[in-house]
């Protein structure tokens, strides 16, 4: 498991990271009515999943069938233990984006 470092207080940003050895580009966007959304593209620029609601304490990759998508678990974790949705200023304060590798998930 590792934490993906994100900017705090920025309502719309893009970041790149390696997951399972492959590069991915993610975009996170804040929506005042319904919270954070996250989308992902592969290294070739093809959209793996369009922005979807970043539900707290839930596998954000569930239901993605594209073989290029990482097979681990991507989760926006509420570190307070309250399972509260993340506000615009909660990223990197009380809420953290974590990735669990496919090997870690298989061994759980």
The predicted structure's pLDDT at residue 55: 96
For the segment 54-78, what is each residue's pLDDT rounded down to a tens digit?
A: 999 999 999 999 999 999 999 999 9
Quick one: DSSP state of residue 86? P
Please give the Cα distance from 5 to 68 (Å, whole number). 22
Alpha carbon 76 to chain centroid, angstroms:
6
The predicted structure's pLDDT at residue 91: 96
Phi-psi map region of 72: left, alpha, beta (phi>0 left; psi -120 to 50 alpha)? beta
Give percent of the chain above pLDDT 90. 98
The residue to which tokens 């922005």 are assigned: 51
The predicted structure's pLDDT at residue 108: 66
pLDDT tops 90 at residue 4: yes
Domain ranges of the chain: 2-106
Please give the Cα distance from 18 to 42 (Å, whole number). 11
Q: Which residues pair with 41 in a beta bridge?
A: 25, 47
Average confidence (pLDDT) over 71-89? 96
């Amino acid at each position: 498991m590792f934490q993906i470092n994100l900017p705090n207080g920025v309502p719309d940003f893009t970041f790149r990271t390696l997951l399972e050895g492959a590069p991915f580009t993610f975009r996170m966007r804040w929506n005042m009515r319904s919270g954070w959304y996250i989308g992902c593209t592969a290294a070739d620029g093809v959209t793996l999943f369009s922005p979807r609601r970043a539900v707290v304490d839930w596998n954000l990759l569930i239901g993605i069938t594209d073989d290029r998508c990482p097979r681990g678990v991507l989760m926006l974790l509420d570190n307070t233990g309250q399972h509260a949705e993340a506000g615009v200023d909660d990223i990197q304060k009380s809420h953290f984006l974590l990735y669990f590798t496919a090997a870690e998930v298989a061994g759980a």
